Homo-oligomer: A and B are copies of this chain.
């Protein structure tokens, strides 16, 4: 099985892996981390929507809606996309509609894959074990930031690639997988200091939203594996 890393959704149409693959979507700050938190706290299912208009329509239909733009909660939404919003009291047993600047658009782009798994540091090992059981090629899609490379998603791609290579039968097929693993090796020595370099962290800081940073970079705090299939994200972990 091959592991391919795609640094931004804009490059997804050019991936080498053409069949029999699962996409792992990484939007560490913050969609995929928050989705893991929501399942950890008992959300029943998540309906990702790509546009604010759809999110608003769903709100009018009575759904709980999480929606943000450029990191900020929209005033008509129930939640932004901080992992801390999704408490058991707020979302336990409920269906949540979810719309984010990068994350849910990346799902739209990756829909050609059979399944799209939500990857984050918080579910790294559970996700790797699930992927191994699925026994398919893996494409790690970094959601990036406005079509640009972003460091935290790429570090996650490196961490997951390195973990999968510990299992027999995996190989990498692109320079970006190799580069991600090298960056992860450099960064993992002291992840939080390394992340001081990341532009997106500074954007969140400006917005006063960086309270989730330590949580987002904690490894293996949950066993959930949220997977998108046929329009719905459910926990297959």
A interface with B by C-beta (< 8 Å): 7-8, 10-11, 14, 16, 145-151, 154, 173-176, 178-179, 182-183, 185-187, 197-200
Q: How far is the CA of A198 from the CA of B179 in the complex (A)?
A: 9
Would B179 and A183 count as touching, CB distance under 8 A?
yes
**Interface of chain A, main secondary structure:** helix
Chain B residues, Cβ within 8 Å of A176: 148-149
In the assembled complex, the Cα of A178 lies from the Cα of B185 at a distance in Å of 15
The reply to whether B7 and A14 contact each other, CB–CB distance below 8 Å, is no
Question: Which residues of chain B are near A154, meaning CB under 8 Å?
Answer: 175, 179
Report B-chain residues with C-beta under 8 Å of the C-beta of A187. 182
Give the docked Cα–Cα distance between A175 and B145 (Å): 10
Partner of A11, one of B11, B183, B185, B200: B11
A-B contact pairs, 21 of them (CB 8 A): A7-B7, A7-B149, A10-B10, A10-B14, A11-B11, A11-B147, A11-B148, A11-B149, A16-B148, A149-B174, A150-B175, A151-B179, A154-B175, A154-B179, A174-B199, A175-B200, A178-B198, A182-B182, A182-B186, A182-B187, A186-B186
Which residues of B are found within 8 Å of A186, using beta-carbon distances? 182, 185-186
In the complex, the chain B residue whose C-beta lies closest to that of A173 is B199
A198 and B183 within 8 A (CB) = no
Report chain B residues within 8 Å CB of A7: 7, 149
Supply 6 further A-B pairs (C-beta < 8 A) apart from A150-B175, A151-B179, A185-B186. A11-B11, A149-B174, A149-B175, A151-B175, A174-B199, A175-B200
* Cα–Cα, bound, A178→B233 (Å): 34
Contacts of A183 in B (CB 8 A): 179, 182-183
User: B residues within 8 A CB of A8?
Assistant: 11
Known: A7-B7, A186-B186. A14 touches B148 (CB 8 A): yes
Question: Separation in Å of the A2 CB from the closest CB of chain B?
Answer: 12
Which of A10, A145, A179, A200 lies at the interface centre, i.e. has the most chain B CB atoms within 10 A of its CB? A179
A5 and chain B: residue at smallest CB distance: B149
